[in-house]
Homo-oligomer: A and B are copies of this chain.
Amino acid sequence: MQHQKLGILGGGQLGLLLTQAAMRFPVSVSVYDPDPSCSAAGFTDRFVRGDFSDFEKILAFGLDQDAVIFETEQVCLDAILELEKKGVRVYSSPQTLSWISDKALQKEKLVSVGIPTADFVRISGSEVRSYEGPFPIVQKWRRGGYDGSGVCIHTEKKSIQSAKSVDSIFESCVDIAMEVSVIVARSRDGDLVIYDPVEMVFDARANLVDYLIAPARLETAVTQELYVLTKTMAEKLDFLGLYAIEFFIDQKGHIYVNEISPRPHNSGHHTISTHITSQYEQQIRLALGLPLGSVDRLSEAVMVNLLSEEAQGQTDYKGLASALSIPNVQYTFYGKKEVRPFRKMGHALILEKTLEKALERKEDIRTKLIITAQ
């Protein structure tokens, strides 16, 4: 292999961590993002400012690369389909993005190959506020949702009156016992690697993952069922690249697919330290035409999202020195110069021998480190 050019569409935290993984390969990295102060912009000598919907600009950006990867589903589908047609390696497969980026199509695709997912109906934007029931019901926008926005639980008719009138699916509520995520990568040759399932615990206030436990505390049979479902999806739905699949497990132990992301995922940050090959490196390897890496686990971990306070302005990390003195924790900050309420500002990876001790450390981090406005 010779030195290659790699383009990353999106320079948020996932783009930053993709850049970090790419640094270890013989590549020149370019980053494309609408925001010139995004996390990754400072870590490339080739930053291009552009909208994710700009077909021409993404095409021009991509045609200058040997390979292109993306950190967001919002990227112009036609542009990456065209890039692939012109011989640029694009990961994950634009074909899969075409149905993943629309939650109605995604659900229908799952149903078509027999993968369990909560019952749902399509509701057009104009129909949303005249929905009659039953309640509770989960409204998911078909397109453009991100980090908890675009998902809303309506418990009664009144809440529907103020719902956003966008094309949606309305999905039955699952009586959730646990939410887990499974990350899978699949190559053009059909090689497949699956990471251990991860348990996600949510922050109800911010509607974001609060922390996760890797691997998830599951019975072997459940873990095996998750592997089988993941492998089936990857093969029947032609996965090519790296995907995160979020599952619900209900009180009776039934498993449902919640949603798929065709890219590295917040629930896989820990793989940088806990696995031989991180989720980010897998995507880089595929993009460069290299084989997948082994996913042997080196250690267990608890990953804590570091959200900012309900504040707005220039970022201040209060108590950082104190937090950095807590042993057995690895911090990653995303370098975001501005805070917004509950913005993802970084994460902490706790590498302790017992879960009990790790959860203690988590509380200690939360107490000591306050990310707020100056």
Contacts and interface: CB of A to CB of B under 8 A. Distances in A.
Contacts of A285: 324
A324 B43 contact: no
Contacts of A327: 276, 294, 296
Interface string A319-345: 011001101111111011100000000
Given A3-B315, A317-B2, A320-B1, A43 B24 contact: no
A116 interface: no
A374 B2 contact: yes
A333 to B, nearest CB: 5
A23 interface: yes
Interface in A90-119: none
A333 B43 contact: no
A321 B1 contact: yes
Contacts of A315: 2-3, 26
A361 to B, nearest CB: 12
A163 interface: no
Interface string A17-33: 00110011111110000
Interface residues of A, number: 52
Nearest to A17: B23
A221 interface: no
Contact of A291 (B290, B321, B333, B335): B321
A160 interface: no
Nearest to A296: B328
Given A2-B374, A24-B331, A43-B45, 19 more contacts: A1-B321, A2-B315, A2-B316, A3-B315, A3-B335, A19-B43, A20-B20, A25-B333, A26-B335, A28-B335, A273-B273, A276-B328, A277-B330, A289-B321, A291-B321, A293-B324, A294-B327, A294-B328, A298-B351
30 contacts: A1-B316, A1-B320, A2-B315, A3-B315, A3-B335, A19-B43, A20-B23, A20-B24, A23-B43, A25-B335, A26-B315, A26-B317, A26-B333, A26-B335, A26-B337, A27-B335, A28-B335, A29-B42, A29-B43, A41-B45, A43-B45, A44-B45, A276-B329, A276-B351, A289-B321, A290-B321, A291-B325, A294-B327, A298-B298, A298-B351
Top 5 closest pairs, chain A to chain B, by CB: A294-B327, A24-B332, A1-B320, A1-B317, A26-B333
